[in-house]
Every structure is written in structure tokens, then in C-alpha cells.
């Protein structure tokens, strides 16, 4: 979307964000000008996220010169920029993020007239009086105003969006809908949902109806307010004046705009309302509200300078000012002087993780101001992360004092010795996509791994695509096609040259097949692992490696405006894999094949059809032509129906339907259309006429079943032609024939195809319920033999191969999504289901995960706060360890907004002979002992009799072995036994092997014991 004039949206760039915001919100954003005041770390992070999002323009104001301390969190400033105006230096670097968003510098005073030209103004790092002046000018001119500020591990944000701000969509969630089983004709009008499907509605929400039979007055009615009676029932008010309900019907939630009233900044300072960011700190917001005002009074009295880190005199003055402010406040609160002392000490602190948290949060509030999409924070939100301070932290003023380095903002909070720990930390980042890019940027600002012993390993096998550029901000258009890990590493080294030579990039997928690369030596050299992955299987694998090597793991993920973080600490918390999300509900096969009732069903059917027409047949043909003894090898373990289907496809694609020119492909597509949308539906209605009833006398075509209608091909219908165009071109692609985009020519060719009239067949079995046996093709040996005989000799096709159309959702020129959209919508037309546009179809068929840079920024900030805790997890003398309650798992939803933090769950414990063990525990042996020595040690140390020993799927020893075999195995070393049983050498990179043992106690009761690790080589 061009920031200036064009209303066209670049779907290739914004595709993932479009699924978060929607087209209308994106267009409103594209008409919005934003002013950001203050270009230290926080202002730059907000600007970065807003530019990536795609507003009309971003203007920067900060004429102050760059200082060395700015480099603590401002990732677009370099050493050579010191002394130059911050905004002037930052603007061209921010402009590189999005070609559609002009970034300029405001070089005049911020008068009310200037402010009036913006949709939203964000102020950071300026005196309180100036904030008040800008806020008043913004309010008078109906400009949304945001004030935000960070002081070390403390921060706040404030919104004033005016007295009549309209929220168009409070949550961004899809409107709820469902099928109706019954509607009472009563004063309450109780609606019951079909098949005990939870409706998900809340009191006060609005619904309307369609397809109701009998009580037809509800169809398309004015929205009716809901009162929830239970998970499957709700009331819509008096229905006594309506006709009697017969059957059927759909309800759908209706979203209505909500008008919100905001207080001005001046009013809110005196009478604030607090959005609670952490319910464990319910008493903090009021105190911090007073504390931040005290800091500004201190600065006003000291030439604009904040209190010095760790300076007792400055802290006492801030505390005095805070008490004076509180005593005069109408909402006087109880103050904790220790909290205020920390706030004063950290006032010059500037931390990249806090910048990321607030930069993501505030940027999303800017987008809300521009679009009315999602619910804004109304008034103040305060947040602190004091639990990040190192265990036993008691720094001197000298330890916190500036050193003249780029890390002074971090040293002001954590001290020099902690900075040294960070620099020499050794971390492994798995993935360098959206989360990975943000993580590397934060680590570069923190100085993680920059010391003599420090290192950052990063792996990602993917290359950069255009759609990545909207969120993965380390990449530029010129980087498309380059490796992500290499490109990201180069980008952050520019941000912090001290990381030169400290980032080791890899391009390997994490899995069992790369354990020679990521071996014992590799993991043992690490201090921790951070996942930046997008699939559960890879996460579980990395989690298992961290449990095995006892390494802390930081885990996170995003889904649109939602995000979560999880911290995994050896022996202290459960692992990521210890709990599992419920499995995604699968669509029943009979629903997909014959009885769809929702657009999701038809899209999945079309996606399966794509595979069945353009992928599987080509693969089967290639296998037939290239595999000797194809029949014997392929059909050894499959049923007759699979054999028949496969052989028919091979015959059709090699003989019957093999095209010689593109016109043949069009004819084939026209015949496929007829079979799918006319013949199959006629057969279904022949088996089950619209007036048919079940054995119980109920209409067969009762909800959730929808009675279909056959569709006759209409060359004037663009949806019909779209199917022919896409199908014909994909069929041509399979054969390497040249396709065509000439719709008129294809339309004429399709009209010329002669299609025989269809006559339904007797005896065709159609699966009605999931528990019925699936209708399948039956065949006798004669039919199979006849089919085999009809296949051509592979030798006649030497060198011939078909090209499977491997599904690719992000290439708009390949007809893949075009076909699925047309096929799905034609199926929907058969069943009277509301169709979906190409955009919606692409999301469902491509299983696209909605994503936006704001959520990614915030989530990585929370992860890095947990990293602080891991680095500072023990006191200097090592005697005190961080407690479980200091760590936090986070759950956020920027749309609502919602912040939830919970203490990690401790690991499950099992007992063995009076001792407790968790998944983190193993019995470790530092030498390659024999199985007999292992058994003797278990007998001596644990009073347990080992009855069986295994390694992986191989049994090494069992008590029921013959005497000679048992003695031979007991005499073998662990490595020898493994190699003897598996008949394979243990790879040279493996230093430790894992054994599992079955044991009995002295009462011959089975006892569960931890795994056993044996070191077989140094």
C-alpha cells in the first residue's frame, strides 16, 4: 500500500498482517499520518513497528544529539553518529523498512497547527510540561495522543484518543456462528445449539439468524441481545409473537461499534484509571504513578537530569518528592520507599528488552488509533520487571556508574559485573524468522555473547521471501532469496560491531539427522537455548535435547495479536513437552465427501481435490515409469480400492486423458467440472432424495446436513470459467504444455466440449456417518488384471516424467489458490453455503498463521527479560539460587488488550526407594562400565534388581535370557552391547549413550527409575 495516494494493498508484503487487521483497517491505516517525538530506543522501536505496519507516513521529531548511552537500545544508531541529531540520523534507516511509508523529520516547532495534521502523536523522552502542552493541542484538534516512558525495569504508557473514539471491532475475532437445533416460542426465546456445540457467546452480545424454518421472522432480523443460559443455550428475548419454530437455522454474532471516552493527560494525572498488567502486583500502579511524577519534578529541579544510578542522596530526594505529591493527591496511596528507591536508581536505565515490550505494545496502540480496530488502553498502564535483578543483587554506586560504553543504559540497572556475565554467555538461537530477528536485535543491544568466551549460535535453513519483510525487520528487498541466518547475523553485527566474529551461523534443520553437527560437545558448550520456531514438532525436539543436556530453554510463539512465552529451567520447571495442547479437531470424512455445511469444509475438500488431481497422479505415473517391479513393490500391503484408484489414475494420465495440446486440457477440465458439480450431486440426490427420511422417520436432510443442488456449467458465470482456467492450466503444467490466461478463448473452448448426459446408477454406496464403513471400490482379480493389462509398457515412455504441482500458496501466478478458490466456491454453491473470497480461501487452504510485528516485538522483549533472570540466576558466591516464583510464563493479547503472567509449573515427581525424581534426573556413569557392573551398582546403591536393559528400540539384556546369553551380555560394556545388538557402530560424535532399565525392589514390585546415561568416550 502506498503511503501517499494508492489504495492498493501489496498482498505479497502484507499477507500475514492482513489476516490480523483486515483490508478495511489496512486502508484506514494507509490514510493516517503519525508523529513520533523522541528517537531514543523506545521511540525508534515504536517507529520501526509502525513503519512496518504500513501507515501513510511517519514523521520524527528529536533534534537532540546522539550520545554513547543511546546505543544501549537504539539499534539504528552507530558509534559514528554521536553528536548528530537523532531524528535526522534515524529517518533514512527507518525508511528502508517499507518502501510504501515515507519517513520524514519535523524541523519546526510542534505548534497546535502542526500537531493537527496528524492522526496520532506519540511522545517519549521529553519533559512532563512539554507532554502536557502537546497533549492539550492534540485533544483540541481531535488527534490521538500517546505518552510512554521507560526507566530501567519500569515503564508506563498512556492513551487519550478523545471524548468520542469509535472502536469498530473490539476483539478482532471472527463473529461467532452456529447451527440451531430449536428456538422456543416463549418470553425468553431460548435457543438451543445443534449437537451440543458450544456457542461461545457472552451476555450482551448480539446475534441475527438465517435459514430458520417456521419462525421465519428471525431471518435477517435486527440484531437481538443475548443472555447466556449455558454453554449450549442462550436467550434472545420474547418470541411469543413469532411463528412456531419448525427446524433448521443459523445464528451469527453481529459486531457493533463502541464509542469510548478518554480523559485528557492532565485530567488523568490527577484521577487515573489503571490497566493492570500483572495481577501479582496489584498495588504497584498507584505507587509508580506517583513515582514517575516525582522523577519529572526531580529532573525539572536539576537541569533536566534524572537521578544518578545507585546514588542515595538522589534517591532520598525522589522519595521525598513522591511523598509530597502523594500527600496532595486526591487518590492517596500507600508508598513503598524501597520500590521508589529502585525507580530512582534505575531512572537513567535503558534496556532493550523493556524497549521491545513497550515498543510493540505502544505501536499496536498507534494502529488502534489509526484504524479503530481492537480495544485501546483507556488511561494508564504501568509495568515493571524488578524480578529480573540478579539474585543477591546489592551493587555499589561505582558498579552502576557510567563507563562511557554503549552498555551504560544496562549497566545503570544491572551493574558492570552482570554486564560481563552477559558478554560471556553462550546462547543457541533456533530460527531466525520474525521472532529470531527481534531476538538477535535485542541480544546485540544487550551485548549478549560479545565477550571473550561468549558466542551466539543461530540456525535457520530457510531463505528470505517477500512476505517476510513485513515482520522480519533485519531483511530488505535486496535480501530476498538469501539465507536467513547469514543475513540476520550480518545485520546485527552492523548494529553492534562488538559481535563481529561472535555469531556462528548454521543452516541445518534441528532433528535426529543432524545430531552429528549438534552433538554432545556442542550442547555441553552452551549456557542456554532460545527457540524461535514455527512448528510444534521442532519445538518438542529442541525441548527433549534441552532436558537431556539440562540446559535452560526459552520458548515463545505468536498468533496474530496473541503471544505466549514459557521459560524452562532444569530441575525447577516442567519442560515444554510435559504438557500438550488438545489436538486440532478433524473434519469427518463423510462431511467432507458428501455433507459439507461450512465454507471450511468446502475449502478442505478443494485442497484435497488439488492433491488428487495435480499431485498424486503425476507422482504415481512417475513411480510407475521409474520403479522396476512397481506392482509388487507398491501394492504389497494395500487394499483393492487403493489399487483400483491408483491404476485408473495411471491409465488415465498416461493413456485416456493424456493431452497433446492445451485444448485437450480445457476439455479435461470441463469433464471434471461436470463430474464434480453435476454428476456427483445428482447421484447423491438419487441415493437420498430431498424428501427422504431416516429409519426413525426424521427428514434425512436435517441440520447439520444441507441438501445440495446440481450446478450446470454456465459459460457466462465467471466462477465456472475460473475453475476451467485454473484446472486446465494446472493439467497442462503436469505435462509440460504451454498454458493460457486468455479467459475468452478458454470460455469458447469449454463451450465446445460435448459432455454426455448423466444417468444415476443403482447400487452406489455413499457413506453417511463417520462410524459407517467407508464406501470403497470393490474389485475382483479379473478387474485388476484387466486394469494392469491396459497400462502401457514403461519402456515406451523412456525419459518421460510428469511434473507434480507441489502446492505453493504465496505464488499468485501458479493457479494453485485460484483453483482451490473456484473449486471450493462451486462446492459451496452446490450446498447453499456462503462463498469465501480468494483472500480467505488462501488463509484456510494454506494454513497461514496471522502475524504482526507488534506482537513479535513484545513477545521477544518478554523472553529477553527471562534471559536476564537466567544469566543472574545465582548469587555471586553461588550459595543462593533464583526461586521458581521469580520466573514468569506470559500470555498476551494486544487486541483486548490482555496481559497474564503465571509462575511456571514445577516438574512432576516420582518416588523411588524414598527418593524423588523428575524428568530432569538421570543416573549418570562417567565411564563405559559393563552391564553387569551397572546391575551390581543398582543393587548396591538403590537396592534394585535390574530385570531388563534397553537402548532406544533395542533390548540389550533381559532376565529371561538363556544363562549363556545373559552372562555374555553382562560381561559387555554398554557400548559393546549396543553395537552387538544393533549391528551398527556408535557414531564417533556420541560421547554418552542412554539406557532404560526395568527394575524390581526387594519385594519384587516393579519400580520406575530415571534413564541411565553412560559416558563411552571423552
Rg (CA), the chain: 33
Q: Which member of 193, 437, 590, 999 is catalytic?
A: 590
Please provide the DSSP assignment of 479-498 as one string: GTTSBHHHHHHHHHHHH-GG
In 3D space, the residue among 816, 807, 794, 806 whose CA is nearest the CA of residue 621 turns out to be 794
Relative to beta strand 1011-1015, strand 992-1000 is: antiparallel
Backbone angles phi, psi at 666, to 5 degrees: -65, -45
Please provide the DSSP assignment of 205-274 as one string: -EEEEES-BS-GGGBTPPPEE-EEEETTEEE-S--TTSPPP-B--EEEEE---EEE----HHHHHHS--E
Q: Which residue has the cell 492433491?
A: 611
Measured distance between the N- and C-terminal CA atoms of the chain, rounded to whole angstroms:
59
Q: Which residue has the cell 507441489?
A: 806
> How many whole angstroms separate alpha carbon 332 and alpha carbon 286?
8
Determine contact, residues 478/902, Cβ cutoff 8 Å: no
> How many whole angstroms separate alpha carbon 914 and alpha carbon 235?
57
In 3D space, the residue among 524, 453, 530, 458 whose CA is nearest the CA of residue 492 turns out to be 458
How distant, in Å, are the alpha carbons of 247, 597, 704, 707, 953 from that of 591? 20, 8, 9, 12, 39
> How many whole angstroms separate alpha carbon 823 and alpha carbon 730?
13
**Half-sphere exposure (CA, 13 Å, Cβ side) for 663?**
6
Relative to beta strand 165-167, strand 258-260 is: antiparallel
- Crossing angle between the packed helical segments 974-982 and 931-942, to the nearest 10 degrees: 130
> How many whole angstroms separate alpha carbon 129 and alpha carbon 937?
75
Phi-psi region of 638 (alpha: psi -120 to 50; beta: other; left: phi over 0): beta
Determine contact, residues 53/363, Cβ cutoff 8 Å: yes
In 3D space, the residue among 801, 827, 840, 831 whose CA is nearest the CA of residue 610 turns out to be 827
Asked, as a colleague might, if the bond just before 365 is cis with ω within 30 of 0, I would say no
> How many whole angstroms separate alpha carbon 488 and alpha carbon 492?
6
Number of H helices, E strands in the chain: 34, 33
Please provide the DSSP assignment of 739-771 as one string: ----HHHHHHHHHT---PPP-PPTT-----STT
Please provide the DSSP assignment of 780-846 as one string: -HHHHHHHHHHSPPGGGGTT---------TT-TTSSHHHHHHHHHHHHHHHHTPPP--HHHHHHHHT
> How many whole angstroms separate alpha carbon 200 and alpha carbon 216?
24
Asked, as a colleague might, if the bond just before 779 is cis with ω within 30 of 0, I would say no
Cα 774 from chain centroid? Answer: 36
Determine contact, residues 892/562, Cβ cutoff 8 Å: yes
Determine contact, residues 532/433, Cβ cutoff 8 Å: yes
Angle at 296 between CA 294 and CA 301, to 5 degrees: 95
Relative to beta strand 206-210, strand 224-225 is: antiparallel
Decide if 590 is catalytic: yes
Q: Annotated active-site positions, please? A: 590
Amino acid at each position: 500500500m502506498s503511503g501517499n495516494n494508492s489504495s492498493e494493498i501489496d498482498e505479497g508484503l502484507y499477507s500475514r498482517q492482513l489476516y490480523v487487521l483486515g483490508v478495511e483497517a489496512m486502508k484506514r491505516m494507509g490514510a493516517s499520518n503519525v508523529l513520533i517525538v523522541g528517537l531514543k530506543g523506545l521511540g525508534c522501536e515504536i517507529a520501526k513497528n509502525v513503519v512496518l505496519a504500513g501507515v501513510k507516513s511517519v514523521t520524527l521529531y528529536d533534534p537532540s544529539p546522539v550520545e554513547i548511552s543511546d546505543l544501549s537500545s537504539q539499534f539504528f544508531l552507530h558509534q559514528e553518529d554521536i553528536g548528530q541529531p537523532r531524528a535526522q540520523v534515524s529517518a533514512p534507516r527507518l525508511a528502508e523498512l517499507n518502501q510504501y511509508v515515507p519517513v520524514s523529520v519535523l524541523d519546526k516547532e510542534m505548534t497546535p497547527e502542526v500537531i493537527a495534521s496528524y492522526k496520532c502523536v506519540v511522545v517519549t523522552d521529553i519533559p512532563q510540561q512539554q507532554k502536557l502542552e502537546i497533549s492539550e493541542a492534540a485533544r483540541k484538534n481531535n488527534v490521538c495522543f500517546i505518552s510512554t516512558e521507560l526507566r530501567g525495569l519500569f515503564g508506563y504508557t498512556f492513551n487519550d484518543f478523545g471524548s468520542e473514539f469509535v472502536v469498530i471491532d473490539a476483539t478482532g475475532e471472527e463473529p461467532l456462528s452456529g447451527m440451531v437445533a430449536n428456538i422456543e416460542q416463549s418470553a425468553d426465546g431460548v435457543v438451543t445449539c445443534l449437537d451440543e456445540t458450544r456457542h461461545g457467546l457472552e451476555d450482551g452480545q448480539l446475534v441475527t439468524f438465517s435459514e430458520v424454518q417456521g419462525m421465519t421472522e428471525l431471518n435477517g432480523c435486527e440484531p437481538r441481545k443475548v443472555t447466556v443460559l449455558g454453554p449450549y443455550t442462550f436467550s434472545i428475548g420474547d418470541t411469543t409473537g413469532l411463528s412456531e419454530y419448525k427446524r433448521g437455522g443459523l445464528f451469527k454474532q453481529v459486531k457493533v461499534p463502541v464509542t469510548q471516552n478518554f480523559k485528557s493527560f492532565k485530567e488523568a494525572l490527577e484521577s487515573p484509571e489503571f490497566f493492570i498488567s500483572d495481577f501479582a502486583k496489584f498495588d504497584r500502579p498507584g505507587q509508580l504513578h506517583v513515582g514517575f511524577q516525582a522523577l519529572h519534578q526531580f529532573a525539572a529541579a536539576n537541569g533536566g537530569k534524572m537521578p544518578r544510578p545507585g546514588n542515595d542522596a538522589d534517591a532520598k530526594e525522589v522519595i521525598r518528592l513522591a511523598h509530597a505529591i502523594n500527600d496532595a493527591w486526591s487518590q492517596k496511596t500507600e508508598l513503598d520507599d524501597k520500590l521508589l528507591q529502585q525507580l530512582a536508581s534505575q531512572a537513567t536505565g535503558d534496556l532493550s528488552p523493556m524497549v521491545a515490550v513497550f515498543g510493540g505494545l505502544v505501536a499496536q496502540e498507534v494502529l488502534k488509533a489509526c484504524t479503530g480496530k481492537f480495544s485501546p488502553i483507556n488511561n494508564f498502564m504501568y509495568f515493571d520487571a524488578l524480578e529480573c535483578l540478579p539474585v543477591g543483587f546489592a551493587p555499589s554506586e561505582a558498579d552502576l556508574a557510567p563507563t562511557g560504553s554503549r552498555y551504560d543504559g544496562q549497566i545503570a540497572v544491572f551493574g558492570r559485573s552482570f554486564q560481563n556475565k552477559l558478554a560471556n554467555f553462550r546462547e543457541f538461537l533456533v530460527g531466525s524468522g520474525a521472532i529470531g530477528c527481534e531476538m538477535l536485535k535485542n541480544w546485540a543491544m544487550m551485548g549478549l555473547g560479545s565477550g571473550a568466551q561468549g558466542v551466539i549460535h543461530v540456525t535457520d535453513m530457510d531463505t528470505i521471501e517477500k512476505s517476510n519483510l513485513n515482520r522480519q525487520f533485519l531483511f530488505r528487498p535486496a535480501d530476498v532469496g538469501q539465507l536467513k541466518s547469514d543475513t540476520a547475523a550480518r545485520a546485527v553485527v552492523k548494529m553492534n560491531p562488538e559481535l563481529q566474529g561472535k555469531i556462528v551461523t548454521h543452516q541445518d534443520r534441528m532433528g535426529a539427522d543432524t545430531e552429528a553437527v549438534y552433538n554432545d560437545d556442542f550442547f555441553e558448550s552452551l549456557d542456554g537455548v532460545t527457540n524461535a520456531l514455527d512448528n510444534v514438532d521442532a519445538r518438542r525436539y529442541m525441548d527433549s535435547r534441552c532436558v537431556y543436556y539440562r540446559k535452560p530453554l526459552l520458548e515463545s510463539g505468536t498468533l496474530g495479536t496473541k503471544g505466549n512465552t514459557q521459560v524452562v529451567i532444569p530441575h525447577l520447571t516442567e519442560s515444554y513437552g510435559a504438557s500438550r495442547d488438545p489436538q486440532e479437531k478433524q473434519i469427518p470424512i463423510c462431511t467432507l465427501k458428501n455433507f459439507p455445511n461450512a465454507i471450511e469444509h468446502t475449502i478442505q475438500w478443494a485442497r484435497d481435490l488439488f492433491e488428487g488431481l495435480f499431485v498424486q497422479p503425476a507422482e504415481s505415473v512417475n513411480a510407475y515409469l521409474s520403479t522396476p517391479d512397481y506392482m509388487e513393490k507398491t501394492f504389497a500391503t494395500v487394499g483393492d480400492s487403493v489399487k483400483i484408484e491408483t491404476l485408473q489414475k495411471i491409465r488415465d494420465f498416461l493413456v485416456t486423458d493424456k493431452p497433446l495440446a492445451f485444448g485437450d486440457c480445457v476439455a479435461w477440465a470441463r469433464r471434471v467440472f461436470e463430474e464434480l458439480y453435476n454428476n456427483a450431486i445428482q447421484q447423491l440426490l438419487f441415493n437420498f432424495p430431498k424428501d427422504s427420511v431416516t429409519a426413525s422417520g426424521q427428514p434425512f436432510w436435517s441440520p447439520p446436513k444441507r441438501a445440495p443442488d446440481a450446478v450446470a456449467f454456465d459459460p457466462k458465470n465467471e466462477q465456472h470459467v475460473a475453475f476451467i482456467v485454473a484446472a486446465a492450466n494446472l493439467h497442462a503444467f503436469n505435462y509440460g504444455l504451454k498454458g493460457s490466461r486468455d479467459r475468452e478463448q478458454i470460455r469458447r473452448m469449454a463451450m465446445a466440449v460435448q459432455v454426455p448426459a448423466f444417468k444415476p446408477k443403482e447400487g452406489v454406496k455413499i457413506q453417511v456417518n463417520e462410524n459407517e464403513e467407508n464406501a470403497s471400490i470393490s474389485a475382483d482379480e479379473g478387474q485388476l488384471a484387466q486394469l494392469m493389462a491396459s497400462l502401457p509398457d514403461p519402456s515406451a515412455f523412456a525419459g518421460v516424467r510428469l511434473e507434480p504441482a507441489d502446492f505453493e500458496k504465496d505464488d499468485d501466478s501458479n493457479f494453485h489458490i485460484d483453483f482451490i478458490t473456484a473449486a471450493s466456491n462451486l462446492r459451496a454453491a452446490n450446498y447453499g453455503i456462503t462463498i469465501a473470497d480468494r483472500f480467505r480461501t488462501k488463509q484456510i487452504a494454506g494454513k497461514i498463521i496471522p502475524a504482526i510485528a507488534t506482537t513479535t516485538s513484545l513477545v521477544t522483549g518478554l523472553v529477553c527479560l527471562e534471559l536476564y533472570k537466567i544469566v543472574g540466576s545465582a548469587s555471586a558466591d553461588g550459595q543462593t539460587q533464583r526461586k521458581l516464583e521469580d520466573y514468569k510464563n506470559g500470555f498476551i493479547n494486544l487486541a483486548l488488550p490482555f496481559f497474564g503472567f503465571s509462575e511456571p509449573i514445577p516438574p512432576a515427581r516420582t518416588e523411588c526407594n524414598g527418593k524423588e525424581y523428575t524428568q530432569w534426573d538421570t543416573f549418570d556413569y562417567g565411564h563405559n562400565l559393563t552391564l553387569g557392573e551397572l546391575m551390581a551398582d543398582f543393587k548396591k546403591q538403590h537396592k534394585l534388581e535390574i530385570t531388563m536393559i534397553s537402548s532406544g528400540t533395542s533390548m540389550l539384556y533381559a532376565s529371561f535370557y538363556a544363562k549363556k546369553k545373559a552372562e555374555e551380555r553382562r560381561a559387555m560394556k554398554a557400548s559393546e552391547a549396543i553395537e552387538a545388538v544393533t549391528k551398527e557402530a556408535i557414531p564417533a560424535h556420541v560421547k554418552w549413550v542412554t539406557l532404560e532399565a526395568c527394575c524390581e525392589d526387594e519385594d519384587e514390585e516393579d519400580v520406575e527409575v530415571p534413564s541411565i546415561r553412560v559416558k563411552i568416550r571423552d
